[in-house]
Copies of this chain bind each other. A is one copy, B any other.
Amino acid sequence: MGIINWSAARRTLVAALLAVVAASGADVVSAEDAKLNALPSWNATPRKEAILDFVSRVTKEGGPDFVQPEERIAVFDNDGTLWAEQPMYFQLAFAIDRVAALAPEHPDWEKTPPFEDIIKGDLKAVAASGEHGLLEIIAATHAGMTTDKFNDIVDGWIATAEHPRFHKLYTQLVYQPMLELLAYLRANGFKTFIVSGGGVEFMRSFADKVYGIPPEQVIGSAGVVKFEMSPDGKPELMKEAKIEFIDDGPGKPVGINRMIGRQPIFAFGNSDGDLQMLQYTAAGRGARFMGLVHHTDAVREWAYDRASHVGKLDKALDEATAKGWTVVDMKTDWDVVFPFEQ
């Protein structure tokens, strides 16, 4: 099967077009028809209804919940919300592949944790090296080169690396229902942003192609970058082995304030790292939508929440339940998980 699943792409497109037609007030397709045809990979459950109802309320001119288009800011976590995150964050899989590729140039790594653990394939030992080990891996694989060089490396990996369980490209492990949701929101005048703990440059390499989210609408963690003149007088941006900003947990509202400067009216996450972004969104005046993807489908995807190391969902699940936020039950609510299933 090719990278593009045409029937999935067509479904997304048709749903978006119908929404546009409905929004323009044309008679050929009624708003009710468009609503029925929207989000085709979502089963008809209260979660789908909550999304459609919210969008309908904030876009109804003259209605009590109407929101001007420029204020329709929607923010999405990436790992576990727009694409999968098991058995490890995909960016960590990238870093591990890079360590393996670079190992021949670093004979010392054979006796240096966490690199020796990666070379031996002992991922438990890698995990045990903790934050310090992770930062060493990031420094060795994400720094000491220009942004252009790094982007080229990521592009190459994204185009070829396969997920160990599904044997698909990582970009095929995006959630079809969320692709439809992104397109539906944009068709209704929303501006969609990614707000993720992932590295901003890593995500930008595929966000536009895969999600339709341009680079300037991707907010993520970032390393320090320095402007330099190369010996032959070419301006370059050099990636340094130092973290500048962690866009996770309380960092998410800070990143939103810094990069967007408006409070979102719509936010979707899947883990405790998204709690503060959801709280910040909920605190705004007027209609607000807060959503969580609950990974409940061990057959088609994975089932995990409170006890998971990756994408732990515990406090945010309690708060969502207490406050009536929308908690998507993947198993029940999604007719299709990945585009390649269709």
A204: nearest residue on chain B (CB-CB)?
Answer: B261
Contact check, A201 vs B259: say whether CB atoms are below 8 A apart: no
What residues on B are CB-neighbors of A166 within 8 Å?
Answer: none
Q: Is A258 on the interface with B (CB-CB < 8 A)?
A: yes
Please measure, in the bound complex, the distance between the C-alpha atom of A214 and the C-alpha atom of B262, giving whole angstroms. Answer: 10
What residues on B are CB-neighbors of A225 within 8 Å?
Answer: 254, 257-258
Contact check, B227 vs A283: say whether CB atoms are below 8 A apart: no
- Least CB distance from A92 to B in Å reads 22
Q: How many residues of A contact B (CB 8 A)?
A: 34
Q: How many copies does the complex hold?
A: 2
Please measure, in the bound complex, the distance between the C-alpha atom of A214 and the C-alpha atom of B216, giving whole angstroms. Answer: 13
* Beyond A234-B283, A235-B276, 16 extra complex contacts between A and B, CB < 8 Å: A191-B216, A200-B258, A200-B261, A215-B260, A215-B262, A216-B216, A216-B217, A216-B259, A216-B262, A225-B257, A227-B250, A227-B251, A227-B276, A235-B279, A235-B282, A237-B257
What residues on B are CB-neighbors of A191 within 8 Å?
Answer: 216
Within 8 A of B (CB), among A170-204: 191, 200-201, 204
Interface centre among A200, A204, A235, A260 (most CB of B within 10 A): A235
A284: nearest residue on chain B (CB-CB)?
Answer: B235
Contact check, A70 vs B214: say whether CB atoms are below 8 A apart: yes
